[in-house]
Amino acid sequence: MKSRIRDLREDADLTQAELAARIGITQRKYSYIETETQPLTDEMLVKLADFYNVSVDYILLRTEKPELNI
């Protein structure tokens, strides 16, 4: 999971600090999530999926298609 959220962040040309500020957490907390030191909570998973406009399944590596199925 860490590689997918890291890849998304890097593809968006954002630093950990920039992304953390945009989703309302500290850079340290985001770093812990990205490195899997701290588990990815449901709330954080939804925030990241909403921010990147991708499906939760895409972040969880359950699909290779980032599109939302609405």
> Does the pLDDT value for residue 1 go beyond 80?
no
Q: What is the CATH number of the domain that holds 52?
A: 1.10.260.40
Q: How many CB atoms within 10 Å of residue 11?
A: 9
Q: Hey, how many other C-beta atoms are within 10 angstroms of the C-beta on 31?
A: 14
Q: Using CA atoms, how far apart are residues 30 and 17, in angstroms rounded to an integer?
A: 8
Q: Is residue 36 part of a domain?
A: yes
pLDDT single digits (tens) 15-67: 999 999 999 999 999 999 999 899 889 999 999 999 999 999 999 999 888 87
In a domain, 66, yes or no: no
Which domain does 29 fall in, by range? 2-59
